[in-house]
Amino acid sequence: MKTVIQIALWLLSIFFAYQIYNSVMQPIKFDEVKKERYSAVIKKLKNIRDAQEAHRVVTGKFAKDFPSLIKFIDTAQFTLTQQRDSSYMEYDETYRIDMEREVKVIDTLGFVPVKDSLFGGADNYKSLATVPYAQNNEKYTMKADIINANGFNAPVFEVKVDKSVVLYDQPQDLVDKEKAAISVEEVNGPEIKVGSLTEVSTSANWPPYYDTPQDK
């Protein structure tokens, strides 16, 4: 009987030791998984932002959905220009003499495909809508609109994904805590997102930790 009790106590000790170890290590492992997955998700969000910025430069507005954005990348071109100073002589009615006028001249140098400029000719942009690490090829949510900003019509866009989509297989209590995060060192709120539908901004809600020196 004494041996049975000792074995039971040892088993309980091992169980509680494991529970303590797990309670300490689980948040650490969660943080490692979170940062790895967020990095991939944010990298793609940056690519989407770059593509949307190109769409605005060429068309004057943002793409309303991914099919439109991908079609744009497939077919659109940037116009390469060069600005130079120039001048000419013009008769001035006031002074009744020829006077020199200075002007800015913009020369068209050529064209370059958007997909070559942004993606180096690779075709990975065709899967821009798919969220990394998500189950069942889940997609980012993207919307575009025109808002009134100080009397002007301004194009805006927003792309986002719920954190639970990226962390679907992680402990629910840690996911809930992560979705409630509000800190300068964290991705704030329940979603990872870039852009805004209510203000003219292409900024994001992730901290500098996820930006490379080039991004900064």
- Per-residue pLDDT reduced to its tens digit, 168-183: 999 999 999 999 988 8
Mean pLDDT of 19-48: 86
Domain enclosing residue 185, as ranges: 33-77+115-210
Q: Find the DSSP H helices in the chain.
A: 2-59, 66-75, 114-119, 163-166, 172-179
The predicted pLDDT at position 77 comes to 83
Structural domain contains residue 13: no
pLDDT single digits (tens) 186-198: 999 999 999 999 9
Kindly state whether residue 100 falls inside one of the protein's structural domains: no
- Is residue 53 in some structural domain? yes
Does residue 157 sit within a domain? yes
| Residue 11 placed within a domain | no
Distance separating alpha carbons of residues 22 and 173, to the nearest angstrom: 14
Specify the pLDDT at position 21.
46
- 3-state class of 124 per DSSP? helix
Using CB atoms within 10 Å of the CB of residue 21, give its burial: 0 to 12 exposed, 13 to 18 middle, 19+ buried.
exposed
Q: Is residue 28 part of a domain?
A: no
Q: Is residue 130 part of a domain?
A: yes
Count of structural domains, the chain: 1
Whether 124 maps to a domain, the answer reads yes
What is the rounded distance in angstroms from the CA atom of residue 131 to the CA atom of residue 117? 23
Contact by Cβ (8 Å): 165, 41: no
